[in-house]
């Protein structure tokens, strides 16, 4: 039987042996690229939204903890988002690539419209995601696969970076997978979480227990 950590008490400070993951979904992408399924395709962030959302970046720069542990994926939208946050007042930190937190690989369906893909699905689409968690695009992966790689990396990081804050600029699918793992719910259920661009989802591991602090926190 595990001991109660009393972490249900509202307080901002992590108790001992805690690793905190500050997941941030990248900035919104170009308008033309939002018209199709882009998955792991490298698409740029939207210049118009970048200008309009400077207060969002300032909010994140002030909200995020000071740490040298900044992780992005190999897609430029995560790097550009991280650089904008640092430029908005956080200060410069090295950005490390970790593709365990990459978006769902849609394989042969990347670049296709939602309407086109509807003809090829084997399962009914999720109400808040293009596919169910079980749907595997040709030459791609399903959301259960994303859950596997995200959860393995979360466990690894929690061992390596005990008592540290980790900032991860990631993607909507990967962050929902992290929530599924931390809350021990089916991935298909976690797809119902709203994860907006430039929002914070804070998950911590205290000793052997996962704890969700906030989801989709925004300015």
Residue 11 has pLDDT above 60, yes or no: no
CA 124 to chain centre: 24
Question: How would residue 8 be classed by pLDDT, with cut points 50, 70 and 90?
Answer: very low
Whether 11 is in a domain gets the answer no
Q: What is the pLDDT of residue 124?
A: 86
Contacts of 106 (CB under 8 A, 6+ apart): 37, 38, 39, 40, 137, 140
In tens, the pLDDT along 68-83 reads: 999 999 999 999 999 9
Mean confidence (pLDDT) of the chain: 93
Query: CA nearest 204: which of 2, 7, 8, 18?
Result: 18
Residue 210 has pLDDT above 70, yes or no: yes
What is the number of structural domains in the chain? 1
Percent of the chain with pLDDT strictly greater than 70: 93
Residue 12 has pLDDT above 70, yes or no: no
Residues 82, 7: contact at Cβ < 8 Å?
A: no
Q: What is the pLDDT of residue 219?
A: 84
Three-class DSSP labels, 137-177? CCCCCCHHHHHHHHHHHHHHHHHHCCCCEEEEEECHHHHHH
Radius of gyration over every alpha carbon of the chain, rounded to an integer in angstroms:
17
151-178 mean pLDDT: 97
In tens, the pLDDT along 172-183 reads: 999 999 999 999
Residue 25 has pLDDT above 60, yes or no: yes
Residues 197 and 199: their CA atoms lie apart, in Å, by 6
Residues 115, 81: contact at Cβ < 8 Å?
A: no
Its domain, for residue 115, covers 18-217
Residue 91 has pLDDT above 60, yes or no: yes
Task: Specify the CATH number for the domain of residue 213.
Answer: 3.40.50.1240
Residues 198 and 219: their CA atoms lie apart, in Å, by 9
Residue 4 has pLDDT above 50, yes or no: no
Whether 187 is in a domain gets the answer yes
Percent of the chain with pLDDT strictly greater than 90: 83
Whether 194 is in a domain gets the answer yes
Whether 13 is in a domain gets the answer no
Whether 1 is in a domain gets the answer no
Question: How would residue 7 be classed by pLDDT, with cut points 50, 70 and 90?
Answer: very low
Whether 5 is in a domain gets the answer no
In tens, the pLDDT along 39-70 reads: 999 999 999 999 999 999 999 999 999 999 99
Residues 77 and 91: their CA atoms lie apart, in Å, by 19
């Amino acid at each position: 039987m595990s001991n109660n950590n009393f972490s249900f008490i509202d307080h901002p400070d992590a108790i001992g042996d805690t690793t905190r993951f500050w997941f941030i979904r990248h900035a919104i992408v170009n308008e033309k690229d939002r018209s199709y399924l882009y998955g792991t395709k490298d698409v740029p962030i939207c210049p118009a939204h970048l200008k309009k959302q400077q207060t969002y970046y300032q909010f994140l720069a002030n909200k995020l903890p000071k740490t040298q542990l900044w992780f992005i994926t190999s897609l430029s939208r995560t790097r550009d988002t991280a650089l904008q946050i640092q430029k908005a007042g956080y200060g410069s930190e090295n950005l490390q690539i970790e593709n365990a937190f990459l978006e769902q690989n849609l394989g042969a369906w990347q670049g296709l419209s939602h309407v086109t893909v509807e003809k090829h699905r084997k399962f009914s689409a999720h109400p808040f995601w293009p596919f169910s968690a079980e749907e595997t695009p040709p030459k791609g992966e399903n959301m259960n696969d994303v859950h596997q790689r995200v959860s393995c990396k979360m466990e690894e990081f929690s061992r390596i970076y005990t008592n540290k804050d980790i900032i991860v600029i990631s993607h909507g699918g990967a962050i929902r997978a992290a929530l599924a793992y931390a809350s021990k719910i089916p991935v298909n259920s976690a797809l119902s979480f709203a994860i907006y661009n430039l929002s914070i989802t804070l998950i911590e591991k205290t000793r052997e227990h996962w704890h969700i602090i906030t989801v989709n926190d925004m300015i």
